[in-house]
Structures are given as C-alpha cells and as structure tokens.
C-alpha cells in the first residue's frame, strides 16, 4: 500500500527547491558583502586585506552555518512524505532570517572599527543564527511529533537532529544575550564552543539510542 499523495502546495520537493534557492542566494550575498578595495587601497593591498580580517571571518562563519542549515534541511526533506501547514509556516522565519543573514554578517564584519557598536552587531548576528537553528529544530520536532516522515525513515536519528539543532539554536541565543549585556568578546568565544556543544548532544543522544 503506497502513501497518500501530499496535498497541493505541501509537497516536500517544491519546498526543498525553494529553500535551496533562498539559501544559495544568501550564501552568494555573503561574499558580495565583503568590502572591495578602492583604487587607492590597491596601492597597499596587503594592508587593506588585513584591515578586513573581521569581514573575512564573518563571511567564513556565516557560510559554515548556512551550509550546516542547508545540510540539515536536506536531510529532513529527503525523508518527508508530506509537509504540514505547521512545518510550512516555520519556513517563513527560517527563510526570512536566512535572507537577512548577509546584512547582519556585514554589520558584524564592520563592527571592529567602531567598538561601541560591537555588542549590537554581535547580538544581531548571533540572534539571526539562533532563529535559523531554532526553526530547523522546530521542523525536526514537528516531523517526528506529526509523523510526517516516510515509513522507512529513521525516527530516532531525526530526534537526534532535533536535539542538536535545538542545542545550537539555544546556545547562539545565549551568545546574543551575552552580547547585549555588553560582553561581545565572551559571546564570540561561545561561538567557538559550538562544535563541542554539538558533539556532546550527539553523543548523549547516541547513548540514549543504544540503551
């Protein structure tokens, strides 16, 4: 017996294609936000590039986070038989903040030149990333609770993905709050700990699956 066909407008393929397009454009815009040297800057290109280290760091970090978001989203959509109205609604803030990320990345990259603006810029960048990750977490959670996945999908692995994305999202939300409290350096340090947080959550979930 085959699964029932998805309702019109709720096919995973169409949602996945549109999300891919938005994320691809957002990643491209990240590179466009890196400052270009003027003719005068070309006379001392090494100095100019060193002054833009913050912009390059912001670009690399945002690129990795968007790539992770795309990978997680693909992992999920490839296992769905149908997109519910709730999961479709979650795509609105997901894509909204993904499209907004190049702007906050630019602000963070430029904040080093004006220290007083750093807390707000770091908080905006962290907050944008947090919303993207929390939206992904909601998608995984709704998929499991509403049983939207295919019959042959590994539900326990989807739960692990949900736990990981919840953890990353809340961790970056903590980073945003830390920056708003006037501690942008500590907030940036929290970013570097993200892989450790991800690994710990994944290991805990793996042990839970085995036991």
Pair of tokens at residue 109: 């990259």
Residue 207: band (very low, low, confident or very high) from pLDDT cuts 50, 70, 90: confident
What confidence tens digit (pLDDT) does each residue in 138-154 have?
Answer: 999 999 999 999 888 88
- Cβ atoms of residues 82 and 15 within 8 Å: no
Q: How far is CA 37 from CA 51, 63, 98, 110, in A?
A: 11, 22, 27, 14
pLDDT of residue 43: 75
Q: Give how far Cα 92 sits from Cα of 4, 86, 129, Å.
A: 26, 10, 15
What pLDDT digit, counting tens, does each position of 56-84 carry? 888 899 999 999 999 999 999 999 988 99
Helix (H, G, I), strand (E, B) or coil at 149: strand
What does the pLDDT read at residue 209? 66
pLDDT exceeds 80 at position 195: yes
**Rounded-to-integer distance, Cα 173 and Cα 183, Å:** 14
pLDDT in the model for residue 94: 97
**Per residue in 94-140, pLDDT tens?**
999 999 999 999 888 887 655 566 899 999 999 999 999 999 999 99
Q: What is the pLDDT of residues 1-10, one digit of tens each?
A: 345 666 666 7
pLDDT, the chain, mean: 88
């Amino acid at each position: 017996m085959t699964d029932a066909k998805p309702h019109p407008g709720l096919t995973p393929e169409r949602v996945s294609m549109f999300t891919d397009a938005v994320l691809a454009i957002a990643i491209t815009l990240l590179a466009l936000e890196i400052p270009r040297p003027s003719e005068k800057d070309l006379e001392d290109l090494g100095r100019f590039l060193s002054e833009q280290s913050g912009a390059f760091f912001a670009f690399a970090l945002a690129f990795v986070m968007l790539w992770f978001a795309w990978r997680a989203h693909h992992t999920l959509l490839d296992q769905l038989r149908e997109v519910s109205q709730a999961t479709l609604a979650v795509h609105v803030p997901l894509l909204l903040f993904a499209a907004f990320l190049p702007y906050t990345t630019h602000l963070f990259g430029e904040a080093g030149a004006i220290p007083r603006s750093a807390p707000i810029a770091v908080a905006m960048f962290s907050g944008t990333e947090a919303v993207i990750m929390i939206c992904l977490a909601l998608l995984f959670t709704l998929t499991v609770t509403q049983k939207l996945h295919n019959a042959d999908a590994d539900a326990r692995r989807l739960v692990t993905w949900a736990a990981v994305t919840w953890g990353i999202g809340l961790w970056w939300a903590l980073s945003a709050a830390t920056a708003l409290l006037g501690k942008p350096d500590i907030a940036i340090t929290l970013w570097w700990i993200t892989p450790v947080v991800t690994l710990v959550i994944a290991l805990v979930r793996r042990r839970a699956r085995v036991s």
